[in-house]
Amino acid sequence: MTEKEETMDTSDIHDSAPSAKKNGRTSLLDSGEDFEVLDEEDIDDDPPPLEDAGGGKGKNTDESDKRSADTDPDPSGQVDEWLDVLGNDQLKKKVLEAGQGRDSRPQKGQNVKIHLKTYLKDGKLVEEQSDLAFTLGDGDVIQALDLTVQLMEKGEKALIQTDAKYAYGTRGSLEPEVPPSAELSLEVELLEATDAPDLELLPPAEKIALASHKRERGNVHYQRGDYAFAVNSYSIALQITESSSKVDISPEEENELMDVKVKCLNNMAASQLKLDHYDAALKSCVSALAHQPENIKALFRMGKVLALQGEYTEAIQTLRKALKLEPSNKTIHAELSKLVKKHSEQRGAEQAMYKKMLGNPTSGSSSTQKHRAKSSWGLSWKWLFGATAVAIGGVALSVVIAARN
């Protein structure tokens, strides 16, 4: 399998290419709900926040003054009617109809409902949603909405102009149909804002649905290459799955909630790998395997992380365990073969380096042995010659003594 064949959660990503949802693969990894393969952290425990709204709050007084004046619904109105939300002229907001006052503004973490119309720069309407509901600040919608709706009052109607950076980016979108790098105009009416439900009192079925929704949003971010935002969504989903419950939950619902949790951990590890946060990715894999020790996707990613950290022996053992669970998986075969080859080359290079550092100890040892053998033979001949000379001298001396007598 080539690196370009690598996919991630394509079976449940809703606003990415529909063709990616069904690819006909039969292998558990290749058809997996949340699998990212070959192409190829230390991340803080807190999820990465959305981009800060710059001086948005500092401009509230100016904004209030602007709202007290007559406003022109025409986008070509006076320049000073627009609020530069981030201070970079890439995200602007203008009040079309004033709301119920500053005290009615929603807070991050609240559930909001809006009426939304999305236009391209040329005025073409690409989407209209009458009751779009989302949690403010959770990354459930494009960043332009997450950043500007918190500056709106209940009942307010506003016009928002956003650069592609805070909308659908360089990739665009198929649903709604937005071309790459498109600037957008958004007409937004804030209908309501309510506190998020208490997770401890949430029925298990609703908790599972909510966690799955956050995970799916993380998949969308991953598909777009927004890996930090993906980690954010998966972290929120994990918090939901790990929250305690004061209502009865069946064993089947517990298993389903655990399945969502493991999928989130797997997908988070994939995102952390993309961010080169290897320690955090390893931690996510370990957590997934603590719940499901034979989870092939977690084993595969753990093997990749260990290899990237230079722990080749452990990485090979981990990938072999995964391959034993699914012997026909070509992805694991390819990764394992590549890793074994790399490990073998590394060991060969290390051995060559050691020989060079020690000055070829094998040949030196051989020379020493030969020298010792030669010295030993020389010593033996010298000893034998000396002993013979002593013996001959003794005989001669005996003859002389006898002759004198």
Q: What is the domain partition of the chain in residue ranges?
A: 57-196, 200-355
pLDDT of residue 315 exceeding 90: yes
Give the tens place of pLDDT for each residue, 317-358: 999 999 999 999 999 999 999 988 887 776 666 666 766 777
Instruction: Please say whether the beta carbons of 221 and 140 come within 8 A.
Output: no
* DSSP type of residue 3: G
Which H or E element spans position 120?
A: strand 111-120
In this prediction, residue 344 carries a pLDDT of 77
**Residues with Cβ within 8 Å of residue 174, at least 6 apart in sequence:** 15, 16, 17, 18
pLDDT band at 281 (very low <50, low <70, confident <90, very high): very high
Give the tens place of pLDDT for each residue, 36-45: 443 433 333 4
Mean per-residue pLDDT for 269-286?
97
DSSP-derived pairing of the beta strands 111-120 and 91-97: unpaired
pLDDT of residue 32 exceeding 60: no
Instruction: Please say whether the beta carbons of 241 and 261 come within 8 A.
Output: yes
* Domain spanning 200-355, CATH architecture: Alpha Horseshoe (1.25)
d(CA 312, CA 342): 9
Instruction: Please say whether the beta carbons of 150 and 105 come within 8 A.
Output: yes
pLDDT of residue 121 exceeding 60: yes
User: What's the CATH number for 57-196?
Assistant: 3.10.50.40
- Burial (CB count <10 Å: 0-12, 13-18, 19+), residue 220: buried
